[in-house]
Amino acid sequence: MSSLNREELEKLKHQKMMTQGLGCPVKIISSDGKVSPGEVCIQYFSPKTRGVRALKFLGTCWGFMIISVFIPLAHFVLVPGLFIAGILSASFVYSTESVVLGGRGLCPT
């Protein structure tokens, strides 16, 4: 079995992401005004999914916070920093209602 190079792996990852979410048609406009059709895939999150994602971020930060308690001197900065970062990142993740997974289209030039 031959190994895939980085470009092929990125292409496979992009194809997989484009099968998820909702396709949305877009116009690709070049700097000289030529237009070409394209598509962008958008993933929408329900409130329950957003809550689960936020709790995962919070748990990850607070998990690292607990581990950092045992690091001499660094724990004076890491513990409060990760405590605050956990709350802020969870808040940010919860407020994210949708993300763009990828897009495709032909260059209009």
- Indicate whether this model's pTM tops 0.95: no
- Residue 45 corresponds to which tokens in the numbers above? 């999150």
**What is the spatial distance between Cα 102 and Cα 14, in angstroms, rounded to a whole number?**
7
Residue of 64, 20, 26, 12 lying closest to 45 (CA atoms): 20
Contacts 24+ apart (CB under 8 A), 14-19: 14/102, 14/104, 17/41, 17/101, 17/102, 18/101, 18/102, 18/104
- pLDDT for 22-51, tens place per residue? 889 999 999 998 999 999 999 999 999 999
* Top-confidence residue, 11 or 98: 98
Mean pLDDT of all residues belonging to the chain:
89
